[in-house]
Amino acid sequence: MSTNNKLINIPPLPAVLLSIVSVQGGAAIAKGLFPALGATGTASVRIGLSAIILLGAYRPNLKLLTAKQWKAVIPYGISLGLMNVIFYMAIERIPLGLGVTLEFIGPLLLAVRGSKRVLDFFWVLLAAIGIAFIAPWNEKGIDLIGASLALLAGGFWAGYIILGGRIAKIMDGEQAVAVGMIFAAIVVVPFGFVGGGLGNFIPIMILSGSALALLSSAIPFTLEIGALKKLPARTFSILMSLEPAAAALCGIVFLSEHLTLLQWLAVSFVVMASLGATLTKGKKNL
What DSSP designation does 216 have?
I
> Tens digits of per-residue pLDDT, 183-227?
999 999 998 888 878 888 888 888 888 888 889 877 887 788 788
The pLDDT > 90 percentage for the chain reads 20
Looking at per-residue pLDDT, the higher value among 268 and 277 belongs to 268
Residue 107: pLDDT over 50: yes
Q: How high is the pLDDT of residue 258? A: 67
Q: How high is the pLDDT of residue 270? A: 72
Q: How high is the pLDDT of residue 91? A: 85
DSSP string for 165-191: HHHHHHS-HHHHHHHHHHHHHHHHHHH
Q: How high is the pLDDT of residue 229? A: 78
> Tens digits of per-residue pLDDT, 112-151?
776 677 887 888 888 788 777 766 555 555 678 888 899 8
Beta strands in 60-148 (DSSP E): none
| 155 closest CA partner among 110, 221, 222, 95 | 110
Q: How high is the pLDDT of residue 282? A: 57
**Dist. CA 19–CA 107, nearest whole Å:** 16
What DSSP designation does 114 have?
T
Return the H-helix or E-strand segment holding 118: helix 118-134
Q: How high is the pLDDT of residue 1? A: 46
**Dist. CA 189–CA 23, nearest whole Å:** 20
> Tens digits of per-residue pLDDT, 153-172?
999 999 998 998 888 888 88
* Cβ atoms < 10 Å from Cβ of 62: 11
**Dist. CA 65–CA 19, nearest whole Å:** 27
Residue 73: pLDDT over 90: yes
Q: How high is the pLDDT of residue 285? A: 47
Residue 2: pLDDT over 60: no
| 14 closest CA partner among 267, 247, 218, 224 | 224
Q: How high is the pLDDT of residue 181? A: 93
The sign of the dihedral angle between the CA atoms of 64, 16, 33, 156 is positive
**Dist. CA 127–CA 59, nearest whole Å:** 39
Instruction: Name the residue ranges covered by the structural domains of the chain.
Output: 11-285
Banded model confidence at residue 286, pLDDT cuts 50, 70, 90: very low
**Is the CB of residue 131 less than 8 Å from the CB of residue 270?**
yes
Q: How high is the pLDDT of residue 200? A: 85
Residue 69: pLDDT over 80: yes
